[in-house]
Chain A
């Protein structure tokens, strides 16, 4: 079932000025429930605009956005309710922290929802725990934390609102590989435990292949491809024509095939490549105990 549906959505910035830009051009799109959907595309392809349409921060110039089967702009005064349903973590969310303590900052969203004190306390504890923030950190000032920790606080602040859909704009931007894995892995675990539908905007094909179920590729204000990871990455020709790429490991696999090695071409993660190669050469020890994700 699709939890978000866009119907012929267009969005134009600076209408009727010399700076007019069409950020989205007649986009129709379905996003499925309970999955992690990756949104990928060049800078200026319309990703961030699309994301802001999902919780009504922007209003489409034309077309409709349906969340959970409901047209979100049917009652413009109720748009606040949509924002509790579609939780959004913006790019570099650490710059939005403001409260005296981490606890207060995480509680800001739930407080706006007018929940009871016990419920707020419960949610803050739970989401802080989830984002790997200990009790001691909760009483610190958010401005005393490291960059990575700040980002987790921001993430926890949105998770504490228990949204049905969680949208993350470049959640791993500017983090080191370990930080990336922790944040993205944490989001994956969160989805498994809470059943939230997740949308991740990213530049990294590797991250998409590792953590997403579905991928939507944007190019020049339109949706270029939309489907399962395997389906999308199998279109390497089309992706390259549009200035995007497949994961590095897929490139290596394709090169190997060019050299006459008969390895399947639908491999998108290092683990997948390892197990395929191991199978070909009759050894299974290399992949023991590892999570194997590849396209068959």
Chain B
């Protein structure tokens, strides 16, 4: 297929993490995110990385699959890191001091910049791995949106359309694979008519996409129309009074999951205070 969609694809297994309540996973992810930004030194980063590795092993998602998912984002990670090298102003002598354009722009690279860039890359990788691991590889999109809906349900009190929002998200997620498949089919059909997507300059490449985008657009509208009719036929009238087939249930392991997330944050803060290693 043309696009690699392994990032964000559910990986079937019955591991402990797969069986956790999606709300627990959401909470854990938020705590993990906060922790990565709170983390200040080598020890706390090592602590977080260790926990991430253990989670990967417990989830039984092969490292190979996770790395493949990250590969697609390698460009963005490297790009952000490189930008950071140039943007950081450090103290002391710069490593590189090069007047690219005299009296106008001098390129300066500091040791701090290099370290910052490295840390930033590690941070992004950790965040991406953790979110995809907990929210896509081990949670089906339906579970995820159900989780978000129930977690946000208090907001219904102030008349926020929580249900509609989550239905919107469910539908969007549900149609990603369908659209991917459709794109593959249309691409094949146009390739069979001699379309060439890989050669030529940027403009030529963009033009070559027209025969794919237009049919895709047309069929998306057709699909939306059909879906609306189908929902109407089954008397869908929004969230009011709807019951669920699968009710989310908090279990003992979820309580432990929540506690573990808190311990994680507390651990990072404690390491920051009591065991300062090389400060970053």
Residues of A within 8 A of B (CB): 17-18, 52, 55, 57, 80, 83-84, 87-88, 90-91, 93, 95-99, 108-109, 112-113, 143, 157-158, 161
**A109 to B191 CA separation, bound complex (whole angstroms):** 9
Cβ-neighbour of A93 out of B189, B210, B212, B218 (below 8 A): B189
Which residues does chain B contribute within 8 Å of A90, judged by CB atoms? 185, 188-189, 192
Q: Are B186 and A95 in contact (CB under 8 A)?
A: yes
**A88 to B212 CA separation, bound complex (whole angstroms):** 17
**B207-242 interface bits toward A, Cβ cutoff 8 Å, 1 = contact, 0 = none:** 000111011001100000000000000000000000
Given known contacts A18-B11, A83-B194, A98 and B189 CB-to-CB distance under 8 angstroms: no
**A84 to B196 CA separation, bound complex (whole angstroms):** 12
Cβ-neighbour of B190 out of A84, A96, A143, A161 (below 8 A): A96
Task: Sort A-B residue pairs by CB-CB distance and give the 4 closest, nearest first.
Answer: A112-B194, A98-B214, A96-B189, A109-B193
Minimum CB distance partner of A110 in chain B: B194
Additional 4 contacts, C-beta under 8 A, given A83-B192, A91-B185, A108-B195: A88-B192, A98-B212, A98-B214, A143-B218
Q: Could you show 7 A-B contacts with beta carbons less than 8 Å apart?
A: A52-B188, A90-B185, A95-B218, A95-B219, A96-B186, A98-B214, A158-B192
Q: Are B192 and A80 in contact (CB under 8 A)?
A: no
Q: Give the interface SS of chain B, mostly helix, strand, loop or mixed.
A: helix
Q: Is B97's CB within 8 Å of the partner chain A?
A: no
Distance in angstroms from B5 CB to nearest chain A CB is: 12
Which residues does chain B contribute within 8 Å of A99, judged by CB atoms? 211
Q: Are B196 and A98 in contact (CB under 8 A)?
A: no
Minimum CB distance partner of A79 in chain B: B191
**A32 to B97 CA separation, bound complex (whole angstroms):** 72
Q: How many residues of B contact A (CB 8 A)?
A: 21
Which residues does chain A contribute within 8 Å of B193, judged by CB atoms? 83, 108-109, 112, 157-158, 161
Which residues does chain A contribute within 8 Å of B195, judged by CB atoms? 108, 112
Q: Are A55 and B192 in contact (CB under 8 A)?
A: yes
Given known contacts A18-B11, A84-B194, A113-B194, A57 and B188 CB-to-CB distance under 8 angstroms: yes
Q: Are B12 and A18 in contact (CB under 8 A)?
A: yes
* B162-193, CB < 8 A from A: 185-186, 188-193
Distance in angstroms from B193 CB to nearest chain A CB is: 4
* B1-30, CB < 8 A from A: 11-12
Which residues does chain A contribute within 8 Å of B214, judged by CB atoms? 98
Minimum CB distance partner of A55 in chain B: B192
* B92-143, CB < 8 A from A: none
Which residues does chain A contribute within 8 Å of B188, judged by CB atoms? 52, 57, 90
Distance in angstroms from A89 CB to nearest chain B CB is: 8
Distance in angstroms from A119 CB to nearest chain B CB is: 14
Distance in angstroms from A7 CB to nearest chain B CB is: 23
Which residues does chain A contribute within 8 Å of B219, judged by CB atoms? 95
Minimum CB distance partner of B218 in chain A: A143
**A97 to B216 CA separation, bound complex (whole angstroms):** 10
Which residues does chain A contribute within 8 Å of B191, judged by CB atoms? 57, 83
Minimum CB distance partner of B188 in chain A: A57
With a 10 A CB-CB cut-off, give which of B194, B211, B214 has the most chain A CB atoms.
B194
Distance in angstroms from A54 CB to nearest chain B CB is: 10
With a 10 A CB-CB cut-off, give which of B65, B196, B214 has the most chain A CB atoms.
B214
Distance in angstroms from A90 CB to nearest chain B CB is: 5
**A161 to B214 CA separation, bound complex (whole angstroms):** 22
Minimum CB distance partner of B219 in chain A: A95
Cβ-neighbour of A57 out of B11, B192, B211, B215 (below 8 A): B192
Which residues does chain A contribute within 8 Å of B12, judged by CB atoms? 18
With a 10 A CB-CB cut-off, give which of A83, A93, A98, A108 has the most chain B CB atoms.
A98
Distance in angstroms from B42 CB to nearest chain A CB is: 36
**A84 to B191 CA separation, bound complex (whole angstroms):** 10
Which residues does chain A contribute within 8 Å of B218, judged by CB atoms? 95, 143
Minimum CB distance partner of B213 in chain A: A98
**A91 to B194 CA separation, bound complex (whole angstroms):** 17
Q: Are B192 and A108 in contact (CB under 8 A)?
A: no
Which residues does chain A contribute within 8 Å of B211, judged by CB atoms? 96, 98-99, 108
Which residues does chain A contribute within 8 Å of B185, judged by CB atoms? 90-91, 95
Distance in angstroms from B125 CB to nearest chain A CB is: 22
Distance in angstroms from B240 CB to nearest chain A CB is: 37
Which residues does chain A contribute within 8 Å of B186, judged by CB atoms? 95-96
Minimum CB distance partner of A113 in chain B: B194
**A98 to B217 CA separation, bound complex (whole angstroms):** 10
Given known contacts A52-B188, A90-B185, A93-B189, A109 and B194 CB-to-CB distance under 8 angstroms: yes
Which residues does chain B contribute within 8 Å of A109, judged by CB atoms? 193-194
Distance in angstroms from B31 CB to nearest chain A CB is: 30
Q: Are B210 and A98 in contact (CB under 8 A)?
A: yes
Minimum CB distance partner of A108 in chain B: B193
Minimum CB distance partner of B190 in chain A: A96
Q: Are A98 and B194 in contact (CB under 8 A)?
A: no
Distance in angstroms from B63 CB to nearest chain A CB is: 13
Which residues does chain A contribute within 8 Å of B65, judged by CB atoms? 17
Which residues does chain A contribute within 8 Å of B11, judged by CB atoms? 18
